[in-house]
DNA sequence: AAAACCCATCGTAATATTGCGATATGGGTT
DNA sequence: AACCCATATCGCAATATTACGATGGGTTTT
């Protein structure tokens, strides 16, 4: 079917899954790392950096923007992208909480 | 095409993307949370807990096992699953590093 | 041994994702 | 205005994911 049954799960579970999905592609990871490193850049730079077609790069940027983790501002003919620090921290916290909330014993299995 | 061009990216980027993909579904999040809470449990418990069909649940368990984050041991007719603490910590570290390696200034955009 | 149970896998259908060429849009330039 | 440049979006093809019923191989129970 390909249609996730979101109604079976809590908002927190769906939210975390969507956050994970936002970064579940190496191109999007690469975009985020580049933005962190360079602080900000325009689409054309990312097209060069990634080696993907312009249309594909634009699509990944759109997904990251929809996820809220980056923001783009028009600068003449170009669009300048950067990390949204507020959302970035939120991601950081959510993942940290998920992985850290309970300590796992070192040989807990049956 | 639906085929990620993995060769364009580093091993680290592909690895992180795959780790994110492993938890990029609310059912898999729910499975992990349940395993953390209960420490260990058999497939049947998870089928009840999730509300998904047995086949679907088994498929999600397989993906988590392939990702290495859980392990299953046969116990008579049942299979007992639990978190792999070593891999869990690895996930925790990788995500923590990714989100925390560089501090983002609070108004860095153009 | 038969019945009942637990679980993985197969096969299939529906939907989502990835990627790119082509096209559109909106600046800037001459 | 005519012309480039930078991006976004559309439309399409290929592949991946999600979900479930059905089947099959074990294990326990009767």
Reported confidence tier of residue A13, pLDDT bands at 50, 70, 90: very high
Which residue on chain A is closest to B104 by alpha carbon?
Answer: A85
Q: Which member of A52, A95, A101 has the closest CB to residue B95? A: A95
At B95 the pLDDT is 97
Model confidence over B19-43: pLDDT tens digits? 999 999 999 999 999 999 999 899 9
Shortest Cα–Cα distance, B107 to chain A (Å): 7
At A6 the pLDDT is 95
The separation, in Å, between residue A31 CA and nucleotide D6 C1' comes to: 18
pLDDT of B110 strictly over 90: no
Locate tokens 């095409």: which residue?
Answer: B1
Q: Rounded CA gap, B18 and B51, in Å?
A: 26
Model confidence over A62-79: pLDDT tens digits? 999 999 999 999 999 999
Reported confidence tier of residue A1, pLDDT bands at 50, 70, 90: confident
Average pLDDT over every residue of B69-98: 96
Residue A24 and residue B21 in contact, taking contact as beta carbons nearer than 8 Å: yes
Strand order across the B78-83 sheet: B41-42, B78-83, B70-75
pLDDT of B109 strictly over 90: no
At A83 the pLDDT is 96
Residue B74 and residue B92 in contact, taking contact as beta carbons nearer than 8 Å: no
pLDDT of B1 strictly over 90: no
Q: Which member of B14, B17, B85 has the closest CB to residue A105? A: B85
Locate tokens 């609070």: which residue?
Answer: B106
Three-state DSSP at B41 gives strand
What residues contact A61, with CB distance under 8 A and at least 6 apart?
A: A31, A43, A46, A70, A72, A81
The separation, in Å, between residue A76 CA and nucleotide C27 C1' comes to: 6
Q: Do A40 and B108 touch (CB under 8 A)?
A: yes
Q: Walk me through the domains of chain A, giving residue ranges and CATH numbers.
A: 11-93 (1.10.10.10)
**Which nucleotide C1' is nearest A55 CA?**
C20
Helices and strands, number each (H, E), in chain B: 5, 3
């Amino acid at each position: 079917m390909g249609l996730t049954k979101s109604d079976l799960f809590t908002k927190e579970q769906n939210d975390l899954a969507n956050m994970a999905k936002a970064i579940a592609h190496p191109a999007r990871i690469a975009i985020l790392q580049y933005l962190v490193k360079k602080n900000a850049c325009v689409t054309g730079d990312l097209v060069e950096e990634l080696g993907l077609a312009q249309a594909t790069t634009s699509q990944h940027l759109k997904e990251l923007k929809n996820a809220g983790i980056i923001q783009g501002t028009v600068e003449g003919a170009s669009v300048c992208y950067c990390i949204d620090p507020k959302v970035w921290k939120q991601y950081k916290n959510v993942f940290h909480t998920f992985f850290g909330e309970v300590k796992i014993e070192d040989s807990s299995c049956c």
